Amino acid sequence: MPVDTKHPEWELHYPMWQKTRDAVRGSIYVKDKRHQYLPVPDAESNDDTVGSQTLRYRQYLKRALYTNFTGRTKSALVGAAFRRAPSYELPNGLEYLEDDATGDGLGLVQMAKDELSNLLETGRSVLLVDYPQTEDGLTAEEVARLDLRAAIIPYTAEQCVNWKTDNVRGRKLLTLCVLAETYLEGDDEFGHEKKTQYRVLRLREDGYTQQLYRDEEEYTDEFYPRKADGSVWDFIPLMFVGSKNNDATVDDAPLSDIADVNIAHYRNSADYEESCFIVGQPTLFITHNLSPEQWHDYNPDGIKLGARTGHVLGDTGSATLLQPNPNSLVMEAMKAKENAMVAIGARIITDRGNNETAEGARIRFASENSVLGDVVNNLSMAIEQCIYWCGEFMGTAEEAEFEINREFYDKSLDPQLIMAMTTLLDRQIISDADIFQRLKAAGVIDGDRTLEDVREELGEVSPLA
């Protein structure tokens, strides 16, 4: 089979990924897909391709209104997770990851934001730890001069087209992964023609290898990435990140349900706007017993609507303006879908006001936060692991810490709670570190300060005394 063969799970989930991404990106992307999201209304045409080119369909599409509830919900969720900066501690020699974690200038925190966005849209992301391919036997001075660094390279769910796992030495390990990448084709400095190449990661009996394919043919020889001590890897340093867990299976996309309802809301909007256009204007009906000559004599300029004009219709003539009743059926359908989106997590649709307590917010967002909490926890663990693998490439194999904020809403502390915590401290039930972290999470203590900073400033005095 060719190198671009797709995994069955990839083929199953790909349409859902594309739909959710289009819904997040907004009106331009949704309308660009035309009848894929907005069916052709021409009942006499069974050919969607032909029907989508008709004048009526183009006007139908143009009048439709897409309100981006899905994208705004994603922005709110990412904002909730990053309302406070992630806490992390990098081993010596890996401080560069703070400003350039991906090898192309994207810092560690920004990479985490991007990957959280990907996970919300598709429920899946891939992080590969890699090191520039070089000649064997380079000295430490040569490595420093070339500025060679390990990097965490993110791939989207769509780019990871194929994978296999197997039981190796009693462990379930990734044995094959095919990653689709793009590169610029040709020598035209102003051109933008891109082609696809495939990075094939394999776990051989003697270690982990990489190989590039272009035009379905081998483009490079198979080579062995090596650690700082010169040894080969006995596993592939790649992390699958999911919305439920970090194994190789594809998880559900948290925003896919909202995207489904959002696109259905868009279809209702198209019907509503078309009905307003077709029957929204009042229509004048006239009856009279005049001959054509009399009609022309009495109304030489024809009939005009307005308060400053008058018309003669004869002895038995009459004029009536017909105004249609509001099309409430489609509007009710749109409101029902908006309520459905609220129910499944689109909290920003409705303004809850400023008087809601933190406990009320916690209860109201309980199911949403459990999903977001799982995603944030999975991503934090994956990034921690990738930082450690970077250390193995760089010769600094130390444990790292990276934790994204899990306080998704403001937990204000009242004075009674602070007094109660002080009493627990006096009775040695909790430590000052426990109270310090609670005060820091509530924003009472600046996020950049550490407990050691406070202790140094106050000496032997407790920071809560």
What mean pLDDT do residues 83-100 have? Answer: 91
Can you say how many angstroms the Cα of residue 214 is from the centroid of all Cα atoms in its chain?
30
Please give the structure tokens belonging to residue 265.
């809301």
Please give the structure tokens belonging to residue 177.
């992964």
Tens digit of each residue's pLDDT (9 = 90 or more) over 294-337: 777 777 777 777 666 676 767 777 777 666 666 666 777 778 77
pLDDT higher at 36 or 330: 36
Strands 124-130 and 151-156: antiparallel
Tens digit of each residue's pLDDT (9 = 90 or more) over 409-450: 665 666 777 777 777 777 778 888 888 877 776 667 776 677
Per-position DSSP letters for 284-305, written without gaps between them: EEEE----HHHHHHH-TT----
Give the confidence band of 42 by pLDDT, cuts at 50, 70, 90. Answer: low
Query: How much is the pLDDT for 114?
Result: 95
Residue at 295: amino acid letter: W
Query: How much is the pLDDT for 461?
Result: 46
What mean pLDDT do residues 116-139 have? Answer: 84
Total Cβ atoms within 10 A of residue 95: 9
pLDDT higher at 265 or 139: 265
What mean pLDDT do residues 3-18 have? Answer: 95
362 has a pLDDT exceeding 60? no
Closest CA to 400 of 379, 381, 375: 381
Mean pLDDT for the chain? 81
Sign of CA dihedral 293, 298, 301, 304: negative
Query: How much is the pLDDT for 321?
Result: 63
What mean pLDDT do residues 11-16 have? Answer: 96
Angle, to 10 degrees, between the axis of helix 69-81 and the axis of helix 366-394?
A: 60
Query: How much is the pLDDT for 351?
Result: 39
What is the SS3 assignment for 183? strand
What mean pLDDT do residues 390-398 have? Answer: 88
352 has a pLDDT exceeding 60? no
Please give the structure tokens belonging to residue 358.
């933190």
396 has a pLDDT exceeding 90? no
What mean pLDDT do residues 335-348 have? Answer: 65
Tens digit of each residue's pLDDT (9 = 90 or more) over 160-185: 999 999 998 888 999 999 999 998 88
Distances in whole angstroms, Cα of residue 412 to Cα of each of 128, 298, 357, 408: 39, 78, 9, 12
The lowest-confidence range among 31-35, 206-210, 413-417 is 413-417
Query: How much is the pLDDT for 152?
Result: 96
Query: How much is the pLDDT for 177?
Result: 96
359 has a pLDDT exceeding 60? no
101 has a pLDDT exceeding 90? yes
Query: How much is the pLDDT for 343?
Result: 64
Phi and psi angles of residue 156, each rounded to the nearest 5 degrees, phi first: -80, 170
Query: How much is the pLDDT for 465?
Result: 45
Query: How much is the pLDDT for 344?
Result: 64
Tens digit of each residue's pLDDT (9 = 90 or more) over 49-80: 555 568 888 888 888 889 898 998 898 889 88
Q: How many helices (H) and strands (E) does the chain have?
A: 15, 12
14 has a pLDDT exceeding 90? yes
The lowest-confidence range among 124-138, 273-287, 343-357 is 343-357
What mean pLDDT do residues 204-227 have? Answer: 92
Alpha helices in 238-354 (DSSP H): 256-279, 292-298, 328-343
| Structural contact between residues 418 and 427, judged by C-beta atoms closer than 8 angstroms | no
The sheet carrying 151-156 orders its strands as 151-156, 124-130, 238-242
Strands 217-218 and 124-130: unpaired
Segment (H or E) for 219: none
| Structural contact between residues 210 and 198, judged by C-beta atoms closer than 8 angstroms | no
What is the SS3 assignment for 444? coil
DSSP 430: S
Closest CA to 404 of 184, 80, 156: 80
Q: Decide: residue 129, CB within 10 A, 0-12 exposed, 13-18 middle, 19+ buried.
A: buried
Give strand pairing partners of 198.
180, 213
Please give the structure tokens belonging to residue 75.
């922005």
Q: Decide: residue 72, CB within 10 A, 0-12 exposed, 13-18 middle, 19+ buried.
A: middle
Give the confidence band of 138 by pLDDT, cuts at 50, 70, 90. Answer: low
